[in-house]
Amino acid sequence: MGRVTVRRPVVAYARRERRSKIDTLAAEEPLELRVNGKALAVTMRTPGKDVELAHGFLLSEGVIGGLSDIAVARFCEGAGPDGVNTYNVLDITLADGVAPPDAGVERNFYTTSSCGVCGKAALDAVKLKTRFSPAADTSTVDVDVLAALPDALRERQKVFAATGGLHAAGLFTTSGDALVVREDVGRHNAVDKVLGRAVLDDRVPLAGTVLMVSGRASFELVQKAAMAGVPVLAAVSAPSSLAADLAEEQGVTLVGFLRGDSMNVYTGAERVVP
């Protein structure tokens, strides 16, 4: 079902000494996502958990609201040079009565692994309206629980430990229990895989949860959290100004620079309790 890591010979230098060795790299391959047989997007991702990625992507784009909106997910035929199916084309058939993606929110046919929002056909289509507003979620999270999440996430980053080249996203309860952790070369893909797992488990909306990400908190990650009804988004690095604006507008608690026992709460500080 695709390689998560690839072994490659390299020449390494340490203190002016040169040696040859085998290094482990995170795999990156294109995934073409089709909806009802029509190409919607191509994203560069780490192979594996592609059905989750597709479900999470469609949830965060507002195409679906839950598991019942999808009838079938299947890989299309597509062989590589060795004649083996690449599993790089996935077709999602929507359930009867579910509208296909609106042309206004379709992405250009290619998005990179580092940016899932830059391929939007129009800037006005970026700001989507959630069906599951986090603003009404009254759950709270203890600062000590938040402080423990980066280590809890890192402990589950098995591929990162081998390659050093993957982003991670994890969904936790407000008590700190891990529900699902996923890794990917694209931070938005890692989040989509987490949200897609929630869709497949019929857990959406995700009230009373914390979405923890290993990098920065961008606009698109706040949007994905809001679209799934996640009340708290925490990141080990900085948020952008637009991410903070959107979090405030959507009622998402946004935590940045979560490192050790220190953190900055940019929006929704009433949910974070000592």
* Predicted local confidence at residue 111, as pLDDT: 60
Determine whether 76 is an active site residue.
Answer: no
CA distance 183 to 233: 17
Q: Is 169 in contact with 191 (CB distance < 8 Å)?
A: yes
Tokens of 185: 């070369």
Nearest residue to 143 via CA among 266, 265, 267:
265
Neighbours of 102 (CB within 10 A): 11
Interval 50-82: pLDDT, tens: 999 999 999 999 999 999 999 999 999 765 566
* Predicted local confidence at residue 93, as pLDDT: 98
Active-site annotation holder among 67, 73, 105, 115: 115
For residue 19, pLDDT beyond 60 = yes
87: region left, alpha or beta (phi > 0 left; psi from -120 to 50 alpha):
left
Nearest residue to 236 via CA among 155, 159, 148, 137:
148
- Looking at every residue in the chain, the average pLDDT score rounds to 90
Q: Average the pLDDT over 21-42 and give the result.
A: 93
* Predicted local confidence at residue 33, as pLDDT: 95
Q: Greatest CA separation found in the chain?
A: 65
Higher-confidence residue of 124 and 145: namely: 145
Interval 149-187: pLDDT, tens: 999 999 998 888 788 879 999 999 999 999 999 999 999
CA angle 142, 147, 150 (to 5 degrees): 130
Neighbours of 174 (CB within 10 A): 19
* Predicted local confidence at residue 1, as pLDDT: 38
The enclosing H or E element of 52 equals helix 50-60
Interval 219-250: pLDDT, tens: 999 999 999 999 999 999 999 999 999 999 99
**Residues 6+ positions from 2 with CB-CB distance below 8 Å:** 27, 29, 47, 48, 50, 86, 87, 88
Q: Is 273 in contact with 142 (CB distance < 8 Å)?
A: yes
